[in-house]
Structure 1
Amino acid sequence: MDPYEALGVSKTATAAEIKKAYRKIVKESHPDINPGDKAGEERFKAAAAAYDLLKDPEKRARFDRGEIDASGQERPEQHFYRQYAGAQDNPYRGTQGFDDYEDLSDFFASFTRGARAERGGAGHDHMHGGFHADGADMRYRLEVSFMDAALGGSTRITLPDGASLEVQIPRGIADGQTIRLRGKGGAPIGKGRPGDALITVSVAPHKLFRREGDNIRVTLPITIDEAILGAKVEVPTISGPVNVTVPKGASSGQVLRLRGRGVALRGKDARGDQLVELKIVAPPKVDDALADFMADWRKKNSYDPRKGMTA
């Protein structure tokens, strides 16, 4: 089915319009929402396959140019077999022309019969005429949570045909990396090998943590008195809260390092670090007592932290 028709959009639709149309169909026709609605389920499957193709700008452009079909597979070079069959250097060229075959299966059967004749008839496959081909690799995209990417986890994805597939998320996987599930792709022909499922991971952002390689960075707000006097304060980490010591005279931007509290390293029994960036936050309201104290302190102890700053 044409992917634009499956989503009910025109071929000039923007990416936002395509996404909106897909979300509408998911809300109306997802099998989990409308169990037993076969028509709705078929509509959802078609829309999912269409969206998987059209949301990728490169795939969409290739489809529009006719280079791939609606399933994302390469379109065959229709004239290659015709040209090759009639070429003078074709070792299997005989009196029967390419146009004499009713379809390509007849052509391949004849081709492989000739090859088997030279091998003494070995390797005959009655079902596929001796032709074998590996299944195609199927590509998918999967958004995972920040925590699952950092520590590992598992989830299930729904394929365009409605089937589900369990995906083990390796700990430490980064945004844009690919998980390969061997044998979970397209079906083979004859004695070929099943294709693989290639799942490109997109890591969702976290409200507190930011990833920097194998390290985790978090901004920790502290009060003025904690910065001046020092303190023991609690800081969140991806494996639970821990206490850190804020040194006396701490400044905003100062970074404390927590060893082994970062991202789990793939294939290793080790983890990166957590970087705790301090940020001094003034009280929501400055009362007269604090203002008078600071004014008196400034008279006796003023200093210029911007000294030496020149353009």
Structure 2
Amino acid sequence: MKLSKRDYYDVLGLEKNATKDEIRKAYRKLAREYHPDVNKAEDAEDKFKEAKEAYEVLSNEQKRAQYDQFGHAGTQNQGFGGGASDFSGFGDIFDMFFGGGGRRDPNAPQQGADLQYTMTLNFEEAIFGKETEISIPKEETCDTCHGSGAKPGTSPKTCTHCNGTGQLNTEQNTPFGRVVNRRVCHYCQGKGKIITDKCNTCGGSGRVKKHTKIKVSIPAGIDEGQQIRVSGKGEPGVNGGPPGDLFVVIAIRPHEFFKREGDHIFLELPITFAQATLGDEIEVPTVHGKVMFKIPAGTQTGRTFRLRGKGAPNVRGYGQGDQHVQVRVVTPTKLTSRQKELLKEFNQIADNAPITEDEDSLFQRFKKAFKGE
């Protein structure tokens, strides 16, 4: 059983007196919501096609008038017999089903191109975030001609070759009758307008390259390679289309002492032989400031301690990471005579003293393995 088509106005959620701008906005909203590359729901592709079909009719004044008067029957071709049959919609049909294979209306609104900017932060800026301003080169609407491309006091003229449609029609006889083929008008490049007196500022393009300042908010906890999307700050749209977006890619300068893995921060902390042996309360640097920490007596080099909540904040707001401190016992290389005497005395006492370390410690196992050699 063949299902009846939905009313095109209902498809786009519009009243019958909707303006062109309202039709365009409604279609763009539905197209973004149901595009198969974005929405993987089973019925998304059908809804996307339905919205596109509705837009193609209602955005065209002639087709809309026929639809308002005759309904869906007014938008159908009348067969191949005798008269010329219009096959110009084939490009849009291919575009609908195969994602861009056919021709697009050169006068249809098009979204501007996205831009990418790499921002380098120091280690602490990435941890705590910041508000900043960047300057990027991008195309902007020409202030002299306000985007028309024509010299002030003049205006673009309707192309006489395509009568402002941006397309040239040619007819071809086929076994099915005469077929109308459409192609982009090469006189006006599909714009429907010809500029005879070009703007001296932009050379007729309607755009100029400028350095534009844009405020960017860097969230706390952002990491290397992550992106910030600044909506609407890309290149301007074409034919009234919306602008593209700006994507700020983050690079982070390495820190001399801190290293980061996700939300956790790692620090190698040098301590003396005496501190490792006797224990000590020492200052440990963190990105949040110095904290006091007790090193227990008998700490071995390589041992790791954890300082809870002293890492980086999660960029999505899921808590705070930790700081992991790995101690490294530093062997002194420059000793005074007195220090050497004391160490020699300590070594003699240690050799004659009873074993106090664990029997299976690395030091004891090493001594037993090589005793007498």
TM-score category of the 2 structures, normalised to the smaller one = 0.5 to 0.7
Aligned residue pair count = 194
In the TM superposition, 1:99-110 aligns within 5 A as none
- Deviation string 1:158-212 (CA, Å, 9 cap, x unpaired) is 2133222222111111101111001111101233221110011111111121001
Distance verdict in 2 for CA 1:157–1:112, change over 3 Å: farther
1:116 correspondence with 2:61: yes
Residue 295 of structure 1 and its aligned partner are, at CA, apart by: 2.3
- Could you say which residue in structure 2 is the equivalent of 1:18? none
Contact kept, 8 Å, 1:112 with 1:131, in 2: the verdict is: no
Partner Cα separation in structure 1 for residue 286 and residue 261 of structure 2 = 14
User: Which of the residues 165, 168, 183 maps onto 2:232?
Assistant: 183
Which structure carries more strand by proportion? 2
- Could you say which residue in structure 2 is the equivalent of 1:232? 281
User: Which of the residues 283, 287, 293 maps onto 2:332?
Assistant: 283
User: Which of the residues 317, 342, 360 maps onto 1:268?
Assistant: 317
Contact kept, 8 Å, 1:112 with 1:130, in 2: the verdict is: no
Q: CA RMSD, aligned part only?
A: 2.9
Partner Cα separation in structure 1 for residue 107 and residue 300 of structure 2 = 75
1:147 correspondence with 2:147: no
Distance verdict in 2 for CA 1:179–1:198, change over 3 Å: same
The 3-state SS of whatever aligns with 1:264 is: coil
Contact kept, 8 Å, 2:277 with 2:298, in 1: the verdict is: yes
- Could you say which residue in structure 1 is the equivalent of 2:75? none
User: Relative contact order, CA 8 A, sep 6+: which one is greater?
Assistant: 2
Distance verdict in 2 for CA 1:297–1:155, change over 3 Å: farther
Residue 135 of structure 1 and its aligned partner are, at CA, apart by: 1.1
1:244 correspondence with 2:293: yes
Which structure carries more helix by proportion? 1
Partner Cα separation in structure 2 for residue 204 and residue 241 of structure 1 = 22
Partner Cα separation in structure 2 for residue 300 and residue 158 of structure 1 = 72
Contact kept, 8 Å, 1:233 with 1:243, in 2: the verdict is: yes
Distance verdict in 2 for CA 1:112–1:191, change over 3 Å: farther
Contact kept, 8 Å, 2:57 with 2:64, in 1: the verdict is: no
Deviates more, 1:151-160 or 1:182-191: 151-160
Residue 114 of structure 1 and its aligned partner are, at CA, apart by: 9.9
Partner Cα separation in structure 2 for residue 229 and residue 143 of structure 1 = 44
Partner Cα separation in structure 1 for residue 274 and residue 284 of structure 2 = 17
- Could you say which residue in structure 2 is the equivalent of 1:305? 362
The 3-state SS of whatever aligns with 1:201 is: strand
- Could you say which residue in structure 2 is the equivalent of 1:295? 347
Residue 293 of structure 1 and its aligned partner are, at CA, apart by: 2.4
Distance verdict in 2 for CA 1:187–1:274, change over 3 Å: same
Residue 118 of structure 1 and its aligned partner are, at CA, apart by: 1.5
- Could you say which residue in structure 2 is the equivalent of 1:55? none
Partner Cα separation in structure 1 for residue 211 and residue 217 of structure 2 = 19
Q: Which amino acid aligns with 1:265?
A: N
What are structure 2's unaligned runs of at least 5 residues? Answer: 1-55, 68-104, 138-209
- Could you say which residue in structure 1 is the equivalent of 2:22? none
Partner Cα separation in structure 1 for residue 134 and residue 62 of structure 2 = 47
Distance verdict in 2 for CA 1:137–1:222, change over 3 Å: same
- Deviation string 1:67-126 (CA, Å, 9 cap, x unpaired) is xxxxxxxxxxxxxxxxxxxxxxxxxxxxxxxxxxxxxxxxxxxx999943212399xxxx
Partner Cα separation in structure 1 for residue 276 and residue 319 of structure 2 = 32
- Could you say which residue in structure 1 is the equivalent of 2:215? 166
Contact kept, 8 Å, 1:112 with 1:129, in 2: the verdict is: no
Contact kept, 8 Å, 1:149 with 1:173, in 2: the verdict is: yes
The 3-state SS of whatever aligns with 1:291 is: helix
- Could you say which residue in structure 2 is the equivalent of 1:125? none
The 3-state SS of whatever aligns with 1:159 is: strand
Partner Cα separation in structure 2 for residue 203 and residue 214 of structure 1 = 14
Distance verdict in 2 for CA 1:248–1:187, change over 3 Å: same
Partner Cα separation in structure 1 for residue 66 and residue 120 of structure 2 = 51
Q: Percent identity?
A: 33
- Could you say which residue in structure 2 is the equivalent of 1:68? none
- Could you say which residue in structure 2 is the equivalent of 1:51? none
Q: After the TM superposition, which segments of 4 or more aligned residues of structure 1 sit over 6 Å from their partners?
A: 111-114
